[in-house]
Chain A
């Protein structure tokens, strides 16, 4: 089955810097890759996603890139702000397996003012 590895497990940046979180997946048939943000004590919330027919997607200060050949995808956050502090999860799924998402272990991002 699918396995998703996420790095780093913790990341500390200064406000205004960029942050990059990387994930690798094992199943070459996976074709959907969402990212979730979870603030302390809250539910995970979808912030951006990408499908395998696209190499990059942007939404304001966040972007996701996908390299299907290498089977890895990354989340990029520019001009970080203290409110970006949270745990971020990547995930992967394939279309013919009931939409079940396999998640990475999470990255705790801390943005210092």
Chain B
């Protein structure tokens, strides 16, 4: 299934690096999301965008910076991350409050 794609699939970065995660949805949806999936913890909603406007920021540290240039693309810019930020970062999209469709995720390791 290629409804929601994410790149890169794996990323290793040092604490002083700057990197970006990319998400693209091909479903014509109007809302996009970033989630964090850590071991032994529930998926955590990070950011919500509706029609390119951020509508929710779930108390996420400023070292994570989202960007939604249009309704099909979503980025997560990473800067000076900590080792505890290592996780699987998932992107999802939906038509309003309907079912969210998830991408395969980016496995991030911060050294």
Do A and B interact with each other, yes or no? Answer: no
- Residues of chain A at the chain B interface (Cβ within 8 Å): none
